[in-house]
């Protein structure tokens, strides 16, 4: 069994892969946790979902600093008897070339999602194998992959919750409690719902504009959405009939799995 870990800004996502499919998955929030506590919580979560699982290999995508790596690697080695391999961004991998002059400055989660898009596009004709990758997490990131494997670059903006936190932190008349989820409507009659509607519209507009530009410039065959807020935006996004719009919750882990198979 392969254990795949995605250590993001707010949670540690994990999944088990049996060689043919993902068979268990979950996440561990870590907003106020230290590295040691998070490592213990990870082991507990995996054991609770799949008791006695024999882990042969472990691959990790971590946007957090290196000091977190040691705690996770130690916990995986101690409990599962497996060494942890940490993915990094390369100039080229799996037929994809990175757009960044300094590849290490690209977030590894973005890189792995792009690699996953390349792998998923192998069943399409070359001129339709490009993809727009949209990660709707703490931040909303957009990356365009051309059909020939060139990463064309991307965009980043604040995620929905981050926008709400910015409003409550920098606007006196929007107190902390207004970050609570409100009703999304075109015109709201209270501050909580107005914040919910406005931040939702901002995120939706950002993603839709990226889709429209990508379709006009590169004609990607797929638009792939991942991240916790993807289900909120997915129903309202519009793509041409020639473009597949897909929700891929495990996209980063799919890329991690593909890269680990050739690198670890």
Catalytic residue list: 109
The neighbour count for residue 242, using CB atoms within 10 Å, is 10
Residues 164 and 243: their CA atoms lie apart, in Å, by 32
Reference 69, options 60, 58, 78; nearest CA is: 60
Reference 70, options 81, 57, 83, 80; nearest CA is: 83
Reference 29, options 133, 140, 178, 138; nearest CA is: 138
- Residue 18, Cα to own-chain centre: how many angstroms? 22
């Amino acid at each position: 069994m392969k254990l795949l870990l995605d250590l993001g800004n707010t949670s540690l996502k994990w999944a088990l892969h049996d060689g043919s499919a993902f068979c268990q998955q979950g996440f561990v929030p870590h907003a106020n946790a230290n590295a040691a506590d998070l490592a213990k919580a990870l082991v507990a979560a995996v054991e609770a979902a799949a008791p006695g699982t024999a882990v042969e290999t472990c691959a990790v995508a971590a946007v957090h600093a290196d000091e977190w790596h040691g705690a996770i690697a130690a916990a995986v080695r101690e409990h599962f008897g497996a060494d942890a391999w940490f993915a990094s961004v390369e100039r080229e991998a799996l037929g994809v070339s990175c757009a960044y002059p300094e590849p290490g400055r690209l977030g590894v989660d973005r890189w792995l999602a792009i690699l996953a898009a390349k792998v998923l596009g192998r069943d399409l004709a070359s001129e339709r194998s490009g993809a727009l990758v949209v990660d709707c997490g703490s931040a909303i990131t957009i990356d365009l992959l051309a059909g020939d494997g060139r990463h064309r670059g991307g965009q980043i903006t604040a995620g929905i919750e981050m926008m709400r936190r910015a409003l409550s932190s920098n606007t006196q008349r929007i107190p902390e409690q207004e970050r609570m989820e409100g009703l999304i409507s075109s015109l709201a009659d209270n501050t909580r719902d107005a914040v919910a509607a406005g931040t939702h519209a901002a995120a939706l507009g950002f993603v839709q504009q990226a889709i429209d530009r990508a379709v006009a410039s590169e004609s990607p065959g797929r638009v792939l959405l991942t991240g916790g807020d993807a289900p909120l935006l997915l129903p309202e996004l519009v793509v041409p009939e020639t473009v597949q719009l897909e929700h891929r919750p495990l996209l980063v882990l799919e890329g991690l799995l593909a890269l680990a198979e050739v690198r670890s």
